[in-house]
Structure formats: structure tokens, C-alpha cells
Amino acid sequence: MLKQILLFLAVFMILGCQKMSSGLAPLKTDESYLQATRKTELIVQGNTQIVVIATHLNEFDWIKFPREEGEIFFLDVYQTRKNSKGFLKNGYEIRLANGTKPSKITQLKKEDLEGMIAQNATQWGEYYWVEFPKQDKRTQDRMILVLSHKDFGENTLEFGFKKIKKY
């Protein structure tokens, strides 16, 4: 009788663990969103001035955001010095490494966010939809977004990486 109870408990624990670990595996959409996301900060004298988390939406979902329509980014921005003007009016600039400036920047509200973007956005951030004109293949493969400020310097978000072939 004791052997049967121990055997039942052992089987129960093994089956329970298998189901739990399979539930922890990330979904493909979660994985691709993270792969298309970069974070940078501008720090002056040990103090963080701004944190930018940028997602290259063309890399995340190339069907919904085709490259033929231009390069599209979602920016989640946190500034240590809050004011109502937004980070671009506080002296910060955003551009591509080749010097291309955005063709359109739209500030979004938390209620405007949908899907993976809403799920991964910080609670305290400012949100921006940033569009750049279509870029050539070389620029697309080496996509670098540059965040700069005349007093705080600049930092880059590198989105270009070698694609892994799927077998």
C-alpha cells in the first residue's frame, strides 16, 4: 500500500512539473518583440537624464509594418526632469545614424497602445510613434537610432544584426 502511494506521488509530481515548465515557454510574438527592442540611457555625472526603450516595429512584425512604407519605431521614454513639453521639446533629438531625421513623430497616450506594445510599455513613460522614410538595404541591415542632447551627449540603439537562418 505504501509503495502504491509513493509511486502515485512520484508520477503526480513528474506530470505536474512537465505541465508547469511548458507553460513558462515564451510565445513567438513575445520573443520577436524582445528581439526588436533596445534600451539606452543618457547619464551625466552619475545621474540618469533619460531612458529610452525603442522597438523597431518593422523587425517585430514585417507583415503589419512593411519596410516599403518606411522605418517605424515605438519609443517608451522616461525623463528624470518631468514637464509637459515632452522629451523632444526639452532639447533631445532622435535620428538615424546616417543623419536621416524622422518624417513623422506622434505622441501617444497609454489608452492608444494596443497588443504587445501596451503589454510591454512602462507605466510611467511618454510614448511616441516615430516614422522615418524608407531606407536602402544597407541602412536597414545596420539600423542605428541615435538619441542626443546638446548638454548630455548621445547614445545609440543598434537594431542591425545578422539574421539567423531557420532550417
Q: Residue 83 — pLDDT band, cuts 50, 70, 90?
A: low
Write out the E strands in the chain: 37-44, 47-56, 71-79, 92-96, 104-108, 126-132, 144-149, 153-158
Each residue's pLDDT tens digit, 27-78: 667 777 888 899 999 988 898 889 999 999 988 888 888 888 899 999 999 9
1 located within any domain? no
17 located within any domain? no
The model's pTM: 0.77
3 located within any domain? no
133 located within any domain? yes
Assign residue 80 the CATH number of its domain: 2.60.40
Domain residue limits at 140: 26-158
Indicate the helix (H) or strand (E) that contains 18.
helix 2-23
2 located within any domain? no
20 located within any domain? no
Each residue's pLDDT tens digit, 102-133: 999 999 988 888 888 888 888 888 999 999 99
Q: Which of 53-57, 78-82, 88-92, 161-165 has the lowest mean pLDDT?
A: 161-165
30 located within any domain? yes
8 located within any domain? no
Helix (H, G, I), strand (E, B) or coil at 74: strand
Domain count along the chain: 1
